[in-house]
Amino acid sequence: MVRNSRGKTFSCLECGTVFVAHPPDDFHQTASIKKSEVESAIKMIHVCKKCKSKNVLYWGEQKVLGMGF
């Protein structure tokens, strides 16, 4: 596995301070605050440098919605 060096920008849910988070690996590229929105979720916690609030991100594969045929 090669760590992806491209970070994604998020903001603290408590105070709005912007932070950059990096995916845990090349397979988990989609992030959500809701575990149900990603497949094979990996939970990562970012502690805000300003307010010390814990921000939880779930990294995973994007869920594919059914086509409805």
The model's confidence at residue 1, banded by pLDDT at 50, 70 and 90, is very low
Nearest to 29 by CA among 54, 56, 1, 7: 7
Reply yes or no on whether the pLDDT at 11 is more than 50.
yes
Domain spans of the chain, in order of start? 24-62
Reply yes or no on whether the pLDDT at 38 is more than 50.
yes
For all residues of the chain together, what is the average pLDDT?
A: 88
Task: Please give the structure tokens belonging to residue 12.
Answer: 């603290």
Nearest to 41 by CA among 29, 51, 55: 29
Among 17-31, 39-53, 54-68, whose mean pLDDT is lowest? 54-68
Nearest to 12 by CA among 40, 51, 41, 42: 51
